[in-house]
Structure 1
Amino acid sequence: MANSAAIGIFDSGIGGLSVARAVRELLPNERLIYVADTGHAPYGEKTDAYIYQRMQLISHHLQQQGVKALVVACNTATTAAIATLRAQCSLPVIGVEPGVKPAVLASKSRVVGVLATPRTLQTPAFANLAQRFAGQARIELQPCPQLVQLIESLDFSGTAMLALLKSYINPLLEKGADTLVLGCTHYNFVADAIAAIAGPAVTIIRTETAVAKQLQQRLLQAQLLADAGNNASDIFYSSGSLERFSRQLQLIWPGADNPLPL
Structure 2
Amino acid sequence: MSSAPIGIFDSGVGGLSVWRQVVHHLPGESVIYLADQAHVPYGQRSAAEIQAYCAEIARHLLALGCKAIVVACNTASAVALEPLRLALPQLPILGLEPAVKPAVALTRTGVVGVMATPATFQGELYRATVGRWAGDVRVVEQVCIGLADLVEVGELEGERCDALLRSFLDPMLAAGADTIVLGCTHYPFVIEAIRRLVGPALAVLDPAPAVARHLGEVLDGAGLLSTASGSPQHRFFTSGESGSFDRALARLVGARAASECVAWQHGHLQRL
With the shorter chain as reference, the TM-score category is: over 0.9
Q: Which secondary structure state, in structure 2, belongs to the residue aligned with residue 40 of structure 1?
A: coil
Give the structure 2 partner of residue 92 of structure 1: 92
Give yes or no for contact 1:121–1:127 (8 Å, CA) kept in 2. yes
Cα deviation digits, residues 75-114 of structure 1 (max 9, x gap): 0000011001001112100101100000000001110000
User: Is 1:38 the equivalent of 2:40?
Assistant: no
Give the structure 2 partner of residue 224 of structure 1: 224
User: Is 1:252 the equivalent of 2:252?
Assistant: yes
1:18-97 correspondence to structure 2 within 5 Å = 18-89=17-88, 90-97=90-97
Task: Give 1:248 shift.
Answer: 0.7
User: Is 1:138 the equivalent of 2:130?
Assistant: no
Cα deviation digits, residues 201-232 of structure 1 (max 9, x gap): 10111100000011000000011101262430
State how far apart, in whole Å, the 2-side matches of 1:180 and 1:253 are: 23
Over the residues paired in the alignment, what is the CA RMSD in angstroms?
A: 1.1
Give yes or no for contact 2:100–2:134 (8 Å, CA) kept in 1. no
Task: Give 1:134 shift.
Answer: 3.7
State how far apart, in whole Å, the 2-side matches of 1:177 and 1:254 are: 33
The amino acid across from 2:65 in the alignment is G
1:236-251 correspondence to structure 2 within 5 Å = 236-251=236-251
Give yes or no for contact 1:4–1:230 (8 Å, CA) kept in 2. no
Task: Sort the Cα spacing of 1:209 and 1:40 in 2 relative to 1 into closer, same or farther, 3 A.
Answer: same
State how far apart, in whole Å, the 2-side matches of 1:69 and 1:136 are: 36
Q: Which secondary structure state, in structure 2, belongs to the residue aligned with residue 145 of structure 1?
A: coil
Percent of paired sites with the same residue: 43
TM-score (norm 2): 0.93
Give yes or no for contact 2:113–2:181 (8 Å, CA) kept in 1. yes
The amino acid across from 2:147 in the alignment is L
Q: Which secondary structure state, in structure 1, belongs to the residue aligned with residue 171 of structure 2?
A: helix
Give yes or no for contact 1:13–1:36 (8 Å, CA) kept in 2. yes
Q: Which secondary structure state, in structure 1, belongs to the residue aligned with residue 34 of structure 2?
A: strand
Q: How many residue pairs align between the two structures?
A: 261
Task: Give 1:255 shift.
Answer: 4.2
Give yes or no for contact 1:234–1:256 (8 Å, CA) kept in 2. no
Task: Give 1:122 shift.
Answer: 1.9
Q: Which runs of 5+ in 2 are unaligned?
A: 263-272
1:102-113 correspondence to structure 2 within 5 Å = 102-113=102-113
Give the structure 1 partner of residue 158 of structure 2: 158
Give the structure 1 partner of residue 125 of structure 2: 125
Task: Give 1:199 shift.
Answer: 1.1
Cα deviation digits, residues 9-36 of structure 1 (max 9, x gap): 0000011001000000011111000000
TM-score (norm 1): 0.97
The amino acid across from 1:95 in the alignment is G
Give the structure 1 partner of residue 115 of structure 2: 115
Give the structure 2 partner of residue 195 of structure 1: 195
Cα deviation digits, residues 38-94 of structure 1 (max 9, x gap): 001110111111111111111111111111100000000000110010011121001
User: Which deviates further from its counterpart, 222-231 or 86-95?
Assistant: 222-231
State how far apart, in whole Å, the 1-side matches of 2:131 and 2:52 are: 28
Q: Which secondary structure state, in structure 2, belongs to the residue aligned with residue 157 of structure 1?
A: coil
Give yes or no for contact 1:115–1:142 (8 Å, CA) kept in 2. yes
Task: Sort the Cα spacing of 1:181 and 1:208 in 2 relative to 1 into closer, same or farther, 3 A.
Answer: same
State how far apart, in whole Å, the 2-side matches of 1:243 and 1:251 are: 12
Task: Give 1:136 shift.
Answer: 2.9
User: Which deviates further from its counterpart, 64-73 or 219-228?
Assistant: 219-228
Q: Which secondary structure state, in structure 2, belongs to the residue aligned with residue 84 of structure 1?
A: helix
Q: Which secondary structure state, in structure 2, belongs to the residue aligned with residue 34 of structure 1?
A: strand
Give yes or no for contact 2:3–2:228 (8 Å, CA) kept in 1. no
The amino acid across from 1:73 in the alignment is A
Q: Which secondary structure state, in structure 2, belongs to the residue aligned with residue 41 of structure 1?
A: coil
Q: Which runs of 5+ in 1 are unaligned?
A: none
State how far apart, in whole Å, the 2-side matches of 1:71 and 1:100 are: 20
Task: Give 1:254 shift.
Answer: 2.9
The amino acid across from 1:121 in the alignment is F
